[in-house]
Amino acid sequence: EFIAERSKWVAEKTGAHLHHAGQYSLNPDELKSRVENMIGVAQIPLGIAGPLKVNGEHAKGLFYVPLATTEGTLVETYQRGMFAVTMAGGANVRVIKESLSFSPIFMLRSITEVPRFIARIKQNFDTIKGVAETTTSHGKLLDIVPYPVGRRVILDFRYYTGDAMGLNMVSIATHKACEHIMERSDAEYYYMVSNLSSDKKASFFNLITGYGKDVLVEATFPRDVMLKYLATSPEAFYDFWISVFLGGSQAGMVGMNGHFANALAAIFMACGQDVAQVVNASVGTTICEITSSGDLLMTLKLPNIIIGTIGGGTMAGTAKECLEVLGCAGSAKAEKFAEIIGATLLGGEVAIGAAMASGSFVKAHMSRRNISSHPISMSKHTGDQN
């Protein structure tokens, strides 16, 4: 009733009638903690791409990836790249580190007090850890790294958050720890946020230290696979990669990649993730090499994959269904989800790079302007999903 009242109010105030926004299958009672002033839902077209072969520790086998987007050729691009990855033997993926940063800043009276303040934090880490973890049954405080800035000291709290994205979890835990520190130190006051952790902002700090799950991905594309499925050679692809890497260096990019943000935004919207975290997650690097046998080796460094498979927007509706498509709904699935995302991004990088190297990128986008519907057949792409 409240949603209908708001929708009517919007129509009266703006003259717009929310016919499509007002039709949905979600139970509004499940969304009370996830949105305020609800007037309906925004519907985004949902595509599927695959098969994608993933050789991970948690994700093993063939997967079909849901992508929510309104960008023409996006699903087709990832479809082509995923098939090339699969025909090349799959993507090797590993989650090498997990830590979510939260960085309050403390004000001291003088720089002379800074060394003693830092020493006390290090000496009492176990106690502070215990205090922080009283607020959560899932989060674990891994470390507190001090960064003195004049008479201020930033304390970078780094947490393991398990299957939850965890930002609310770590903010509550850090607040509890900060209150404990204030009672037992000479700090004059503190602010909960210093911006060091750069939440939802691109930074070199997170590129270097990581923010969320730190993921590595690689695949070797044999020459015949590249010629047959990507219409370019390893040498042509490598030459293009060098060129855009130099251009990115000239621009001062934070991370060097083709279009990580494309798949991240599409997967995040499909699977109920915090879409604003695409800003962090898209900070990463694509690396290319020509092997001794003349094949193309691609490696991705993805230090900021901040995702969850429980909590937030993942538990109901289309988000839960899309996670179920991937076999990633619920507990003990976040690392698997991260590995699938990593392999998907690799598929996108090889596809867009090949399109650019072969000169077909603009032609593909121009052809889409005159095509109302372009089905991508998967009838030949068989295999069991794990």
At residue 32 the predicted structure's pLDDT band, cuts being 50, 70 and 90, is confident
- Quote the CA–CA distance of 132 and 19 in Å, as a whole number: 47
At residue 386 the predicted structure's pLDDT band, cuts being 50, 70 and 90, is very low
- Quote the CA–CA distance of 182 and 178 in Å, as a whole number: 6
What share of the chain in percent tops pLDDT 90?
87
The residue whose two tokens read 């499909």 is: 270
pLDDT at 315: 84
What share of the chain in percent tops pLDDT 70?
93
At residue 375 the predicted structure's pLDDT band, cuts being 50, 70 and 90, is very low
Question: DSSP string spanning 82-103?
Answer: HHHHHHTT-EEEEEEEEEEEE-
- Quote the CA–CA distance of 262 and 335 in Å, as a whole number: 21
- Cβ pair 312, 272 in contact under 8 A: yes
User: Which tens digit of pLDDT belongs to each residue from 75-123?
Assistant: 999 999 999 999 999 999 999 999 999 999 999 999 999 999 999 999 9
User: Which tens digit of pLDDT belongs to each residue from 153-176?
Assistant: 999 999 999 999 999 999 999 999
Count of beta carbons in the 10 Å neighbourhood of residue 102: 28
User: Which tens digit of pLDDT belongs to each residue from 177-192?
Assistant: 999 999 999 999 999 9
Q: Which whole number is the average pLDDT over 229-238?
A: 96
At residue 367 the predicted structure's pLDDT band, cuts being 50, 70 and 90, is low
Quick check: 143 pLDDT over 60? yes
Quick check: 383 pLDDT over 60? no
pLDDT at 210: 96
Q: Which whole number is the average pLDDT over 352-381?
A: 62
pLDDT at 372: 44
Of the residues 274, 335, 339, 349, only one is catalytic, namely 274
Q: Which whole number is the average pLDDT over 335-348?
A: 98
Residue 165: helix, strand or coil by DSSP?
A: coil
pLDDT at 368: 55
71: annotated active-site residue? yes
3-class secondary structure per residue, 343-371: HHHHHHHHHHHHHHHHCCHHHHHHHHCCC
Of the residues 17, 20, 365, 374, only one is catalytic, namely 365
Average pLDDT over the chain reads: 92
Quick check: 245 pLDDT over 70? yes
Better pLDDT: 327 or 359:
327
pLDDT at 365: 52
Q: Which whole number is the average pLDDT over 258-279?
A: 97
